[in-house]
Amino acid sequence: MYYTGIDLHKKTSFITTIDERGQVVKRANLKNVTNEILNYFDDLVDDTRVVIESMSSWYWLYDLLTEKGLKVTISNPVKTKAIASAKIKNDKVDSHMLAQLLRADLIPESHVSSMDTRKLKELLRHRSRLVRDTGRMKNRIHALLMKNNLQQPCSDLFGKKGLSFLYEDIDLPDYHCEQLKTYLSLYESIKTEVDHLTKRIYSMAKIDPVANLLTTIPGIGPLVAMIIVAEVEDIKRFPSYQNLSSYAGLVPSLDSSGSKEKTGRITKQGSPYLRTALVESAQVIARLKSCRLNIFFRKRIIRSGYAKAVTATAHKILQIVYYVWKNQTPYLEEYNGCG
């Protein structure tokens, strides 16, 4: 059995392979070219295990090596403390240490989603990025108005009346009119694409059995339901709702020394997309009436303030999500399985 650690970078990968005794049998610093990477493994035995430290661009390498028949593990860089806390740190050391940790079965693995789930994640994240882009265009248009001391004629500058003002009635200098025209064109174009993606995601939610269950929970619409489905993928991965909450980064940090324990702010480790979706759902709960979650929110806001109440409500929603999904039963306002 051989064990291979790959320190992946944007343009190159440093690869180290060791045997069962921990001795280096091969190492190379290669360009991220398909043929070069595959050729490295040609003269290695079939039972070679590979570990890659997780980064934003690991997908292509994981798919390339798994298609070749290699068993590939994705390492969680936060938990791979042997690398994160190393005093001497370079590509050669990192790849070697990854291989040694793999040989000792000490690699904290990151979950690798199925191809279908990865496609869904990319679709949802693509829409999220475009929504942020529309926000940027709006902010730039608002800035133009402020530079010229102009007040918007209505509460929603990008509603029907507001857009009519921007296209027809606004009085700006020529050099700002050109900027406004560009920003409006970009805004309309991106918004059209966002609307298209939103309809597509809503259609997917209608035929997804888990999404249909999750939308019975107050505050969760089709879009948030699909985000939860994509980020969690399989509820059986989590033995309890506490594990799921930890994955969402909605549990308090803990500083323990001797007999003293101090809890702090939420860890924010895990899936930021799941956490953001749940926080948005909690903000919706704040506006709902005659809802048990709203009662929970109002009690918390009195005790801890708005921000902490939103976080606590997001955690509560995730607890309900866990039991609704696990038990395959819709949420009932009169009773839910989490107390």
For residue 87, pLDDT over 60 is answered with no
- The residue out of 49, 71, 103 marking a domain boundary is 103
Output the pLDDT for position 337.
44
Output the pLDDT for position 88.
52
Output the pLDDT for position 38.
92
Output the pLDDT for position 81.
67
Average pLDDT score, the chain: 90
* 265 and 203 inside one domain: no
Output the pLDDT for position 84.
52
Among the listed ranges 141-145, 256-260, 278-282, 298-302, which one has the minimum average pLDDT value?
256-260
Mean pLDDT of 89-102: 85
For residue 335, pLDDT over 50 is answered with no
Q: Does residue 108 belong to any structural domain of this protein?
A: no
d(CA 59, CA 42): 21
SS3 state at 102: helix
Residue 268 is part of which domain span? 212-327
Q: Does residue 313 belong to any structural domain of this protein?
A: yes
Mean pLDDT of 8-26: 93
The conformation of residue 158, written as its DSSP 8-state character, comes to: T
Percent residues over pLDDT 90 in the chain: 76
* 39 and 139 inside one domain: no
Task: Encode pLDDT of 322-334 as tens digits.
Answer: 999 999 999 988 6
Q: Does residue 121 belong to any structural domain of this protein?
A: yes
* 221 and 196 inside one domain: no
pLDDT confidence of 262, banded at 50, 70, 90? low
* 60 and 123 inside one domain: no
Total number of domains constituting the chain:
3
* 219 and 323 inside one domain: yes
Cα distances from 306 to residues 114, 143, 169, 250, 279, in angstroms, run: 38, 29, 40, 16, 12
Q: Does residue 337 belong to any structural domain of this protein?
A: no
* 165 and 225 inside one domain: no
Q: Does residue 256 belong to any structural domain of this protein?
A: yes
- The residue out of 82, 103, 124 marking a domain boundary is 103
Q: Does residue 242 belong to any structural domain of this protein?
A: yes
Q: Does residue 37 belong to any structural domain of this protein?
A: yes
- DSSP 3-state percent helix, strand, coil across the chain (nearest 5): 55, 15, 30
SS3 state at 160: helix
Output the pLDDT for position 251.
87
pLDDT confidence of 93, banded at 50, 70, 90? confident
* 315 and 228 inside one domain: yes
Q: Does residue 119 belong to any structural domain of this protein?
A: yes
Cα distances from 280 to residues 75, 134, 145, 330, in angstroms, run: 30, 18, 29, 21
Mean pLDDT of 136-154: 94
* 119 and 167 inside one domain: yes
Provide the CATH number for the domain around residue 38. 3.30.420.40
Mean pLDDT of 118-140: 97
* 125 and 191 inside one domain: yes
Output the pLDDT for position 118.
95
* 323 and 216 inside one domain: yes
Mean pLDDT of 85-108: 82
